[in-house]
């Protein structure tokens, strides 16, 4: 007989066979100094430092590192970027800075750039540097798959570690961004100071052999942080650099004739040992110190509790009211009295009458099911840790792959709904399902890409990547849509619980709150109320270069959104049916889909209050990408509300006795 002790012993024996694994690109890298090169097969001495594209909150247009005429190196050794990184505009390139583990660098020069007043190309490059400083463009460097952070005090109390640092600054009256780094007491307003020097501080953790499986003693370790301090230094003697000098490097307003101006880029590297912080916790100081991501847990949980309470009240009122209605319908002998008191049974002969433009509704529902599946799969992988901030581009890659593979779901749902409407143009239905909604998204995306191409931005998708996206669409998604539609049309038509009359019933005059427009407007209020807090952090991650990592909480909010959309749509549908208005098909889709309208209004509010964008191109790009997001959200919420309403209507008319 198997005892508890024997089961416990078996479990322990199985645990001894379990080995941990790391995701590709997320495995720790062991470094060692040149004196520890006996372990050359298990550790590295050279630390590669990569540079990424530069961006700013005052413009939506990012640029590559070499666009601003900084010191560069051979870019043929650039790491391969995944599809998500390319779509997001990341352009990771090797930097000219040379770093070796545990080798401090006191003061080293990278390169010297010289500009001549008689050379129009030099003047153009110099003006480009000043443009970047005026718009506060920021560097984004990567070391050991971690962002190189710039940490400084905020309000003299809290340290904020930014994942980027400015390329320079311009002295302003209203907002003096130069003060923390450059003494600007004597600097005139409008002066430009370039940060041509960086102090790089690298902290590492030395692990024991029992901890890592290999021991380096004092000669090795793993990097747990890389922090940077930019500075503006005017190097007067390029033969012997002085990185402690603090005479700032001011960019001249103009160069005339034979005047020349030189910029020497320099750096200093310092290594520190810290065994109190583990390698697995090295991201904590970045995520915990970021402003606006230090989430007010109490306020968010309070909002979620309110939404859950309201949803519970809606469900309880609905169930109690319906229970009484159905009980009276099935028990009262006088049907005329029941019909005078309760209106939703009166429309049983028209409630399943096919709607106008049923083809378009079926197409939207198919694409909405595709978006819903994509969101669910992406959030599931994110909650499991596969889409962490260290795995760059994985979130967008996962979403694109899930969208493509779920083309079968789009075709199946669209075909089933269209067939239930009595539609017979199945070829048109398949083509529209596979082309309309993806075509709208791709068209908007392509127009945005043309603007980025014209501006020479790094966010412009290469032509080869556009061909790859088209290949995924027409080579994978469209065939899967046809396959899904094939099985959808082969399935038996949905049997409605009541028959549809040949002559439509006349709809009585409606009150204000049961009319179409007020019902649709009210339908999006409650669902938007459960997402607007998280929406702020999502927009910050998209437009303010901040990291979003609360995927578990986001998944909970998504579940609340599904519940709220469903119950709100069901409640409004019940009111409309009680008012003898049986045109519920489109209204169910639009009621919850109107949440996207509130999303658009909130994005406009964010643009006005949080961003400092002024140029027309960036404004056009912001609202173009916002329209893509709003359109996909419209399909998502509309499909959720429609499916819940369809289930509700079929349920209530299947339990009443109809002669």
* Cα end-to-end span (Å), the chain: 63
Q: Is the CB of residue 566 less than 8 Å from the CB of residue 339?
A: no
Q: Identify the pLDDT of residue 4.
A: 38
β-strands 49-51, 31-32 pairing: unpaired
- More confidently predicted of 471 and 184: 471
pLDDT in the model for residue 197? 92
The whole-number pLDDT of residue 199 equals 93
Q: Of the segments 183-187, 221-225, 237-241, which one has the largest average pLDDT value?
A: 221-225
pLDDT of residue 17: 37
- List, in sequence order, every residue forming a beta bridge with 147; answer none if it has no partner: 142
Average the pLDDT over 162-179 and give the result: 75
- Residue predicted with more confidence, 487 or 189: 487
What average pLDDT does the structure give for the chain? 81
pLDDT, tens only, 115-142: 988 888 888 999 999 999 988 899 999 9
Select the highest-mean-pLDDT range: 153-167, 214-228, 446-460: 446-460
Q: Average of pLDDT values for 35-59?
A: 78
What mean pLDDT comes out for the span 168-172?
Answer: 83
The average pLDDT across 542-569 equals 83
Q: What is the mean pLDDT of residues 483-492?
A: 89
pLDDT, position 85: 85
Percent of the chain with pLDDT over 90: 30
User: From the CB of residue 241, how many other CB atoms can be counted at a distance below 10 Å?
Assistant: 19
pLDDT at 427: 87
pLDDT digits (tens, 9 = 90+) for 535-547: 888 888 888 777 7
Alpha carbon 311 to chain centroid, angstroms: 27
> Higher-confidence residue: 512 or 152?
152
Assess whether pLDDT exceeds 60 at residue 600.
yes
Residue among 418, 438, 445, 440 at smallest CA distance from 429 = 418
For the residues 148-167, what does the mean pLDDT come to? 82
Q: What is the pLDDT of residue 331?
A: 65
- Give the pLDDT confidence score for residue 10 in this predicted structure: 39
pLDDT for res 209: 47
Angle at 512 between CA 509 and CA 514, to 5 degrees: 75
- Whether the per-residue pLDDT at 246 is higher than 80: the answer is no
pLDDT tens, position by position, 402-447:
999 999 999 999 999 998 888 788 889 999 999 999 999 999 999 9
Which pLDDT value is given to residue 482? Answer: 94
Q: What is the DSSP letter of 597?
A: H
Phi and psi at 258, nearest 5°, equal -95, 15
Kindly report the pTM of this predicted structure. 0.85
pLDDT band at residue 217, thresholds of 50, 70 and 90? low
Q: How confident is the model at residue 315 (pLDDT cuts 50, 70, 90)?
A: confident
- Please check the confidence at residue 247 and state whether its pLDDT lies above 90: no
C-alpha 145: how far from chain center: 20
Mean pLDDT for 320-332 is: 67
| Rounded Cα gap, residues 413 and 481, in angstroms | 10
- pLDDT at residue 369 above 90? yes
Question: How high is the pLDDT of residue 534?
Answer: 81
624-643: per-residue pLDDT in tens?
Answer: 999 999 999 999 999 999 99
Q: What pLDDT is recorded for position 8?
A: 36
Asked if residue 329 has pLDDT above 70, the reply is no
Is the per-residue pLDDT at 249 higher than 50?
yes
Give the Cα separation of 474 and 456 in Å (integer). Answer: 28
Give the list of residues 6+ apart from residue 486 with CB closer than 8 angstroms, or none.
Answer: 411, 415
512 phi, psi to nearest 5 deg: -65, -45
């Amino acid at each position: 007989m198997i005892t508890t002790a024997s089961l416990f012993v078996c479990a322990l024996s199985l645990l001894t066979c379990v080995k941990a694994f790391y995701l590709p690109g997320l495995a720790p890298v062991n470094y060692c100094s040149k004196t520890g090169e006996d372990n050359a097969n298990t550790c590295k001495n050279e630390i590669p430092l990569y540079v990424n594209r530069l961006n700013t909150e005052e413009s939506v247009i990012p640029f590559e590192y070499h666009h601003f005429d900084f010191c560069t190196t051979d870019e043929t050794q650039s790491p391969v970027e995944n599809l998500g990184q390319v779509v997001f505009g990341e352009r990771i390139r090797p930097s000219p800075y040379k770093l070796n583990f545990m080798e401090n660098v006191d003061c080293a020069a990278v390169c010297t750039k010289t500009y001549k007043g008689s050379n129009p190309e030099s003047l153009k490059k110099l003006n480009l540097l000043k443009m970047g400083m005026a718009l506060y463009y920021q560097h984004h460097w990567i070391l050991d798959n971690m962002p190189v952070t710039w940490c400084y005090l905020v309000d003299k109390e809290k340290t904020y570690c930014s994942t980027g640092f400015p390329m320079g600054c311009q002295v302003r009256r209203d907002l003096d961004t130069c003060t923390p780094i450059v003494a600007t007491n004597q600097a005139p307003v409008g002066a430009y100071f370039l940060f041509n020097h960086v102090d790089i501080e690298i902290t590492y953790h030395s692990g024991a052999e029992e901890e890592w499986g290999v021991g380096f003693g004092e000669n090795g370790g793993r990097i747990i942080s890389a922090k940077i301090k930019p500075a503006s230094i005017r190097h007067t003697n390029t033969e012997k650099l002085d990185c402690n000098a603090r005479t700032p490097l001011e960019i001249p307003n103009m160069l005339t004739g034979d005047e020349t101006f030189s910029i020497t880029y320099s750096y200093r590297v310092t290594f520190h040992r810290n065994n109190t912080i583990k390698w697995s916790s090295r991201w904590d100081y970045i995520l915990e110190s970021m402003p606006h991501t230090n989430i007010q847990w109490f306020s968010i949980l309070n909002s979620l509790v309110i939404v859950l309470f309201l949803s519970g009240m809606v469900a309880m009122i609905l169930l109690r009211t319906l229970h009484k209605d159905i009980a009276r319908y099935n028990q009262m002998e006088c049907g005329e009295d029941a019909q005078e008191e309760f209106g939703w049974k009166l429309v049983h002969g028209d409630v399943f009458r096919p709607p106008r433009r049923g083809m378009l509704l079926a197409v939207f529902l198919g694409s909405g099911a595709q978006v819903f599946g994509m969101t669910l799969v992406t959030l599931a992988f994110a909650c499991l840790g596969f889409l962490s901030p260290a795995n760059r581009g994985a979130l967008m890659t996962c979403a694109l792959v899930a969208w493509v593979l779920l083309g079968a779901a789009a075709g199946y749902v669209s075909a089933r709904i269209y067939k239930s409407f009595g539609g017979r143009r199945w070829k048109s239905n398949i083509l529209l399902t596979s082309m309309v909604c993806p075509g709208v998204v791709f068209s908007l995306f392509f127009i945005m890409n043309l603007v980025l191409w014209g501006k020479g931005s790094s966010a412009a998708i290469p032509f080869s990547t556009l061909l790859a996206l088209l290949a995924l669409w027409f080579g994978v998604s469209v065939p899967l849509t046809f396959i899904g539609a094939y099985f959808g049309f082969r399935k038996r038509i949905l049997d409605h619980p009541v028959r549809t009359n040949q002559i439509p019933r006349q709809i009585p005059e409606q009150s204000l709150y049961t009319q179409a427009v007020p019902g649709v407007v009210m339908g999006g209020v409650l669902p938007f109320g459960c997402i607007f807090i998280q929406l702020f952090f999502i927009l910050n991650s998209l437009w303010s270069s901040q990291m979003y990592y609360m995927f578990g909480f986001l998944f909970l909010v998504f579940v609340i959104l599904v519940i709220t959309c469903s119950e709100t749509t069901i409640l409004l549908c019940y009111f409309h049916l009680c008012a003898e208005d049986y045109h519920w098909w489109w209204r169910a889709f639009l009621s919850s889909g109107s949440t996207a309208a509130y999303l658009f209004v909130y994005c406009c509010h964010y643009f006005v209050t949080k961003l400092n964008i002024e140029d027309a191109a960036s404004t056009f790009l912001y609202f173009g990408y916002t329209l893509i997001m709003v359109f996909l959200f419209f399909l998502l919420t509309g499909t959720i509300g429609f499916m819940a309403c369809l289930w509700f209507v079929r349920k209530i008319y299947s339990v009443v006795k109809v002669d």
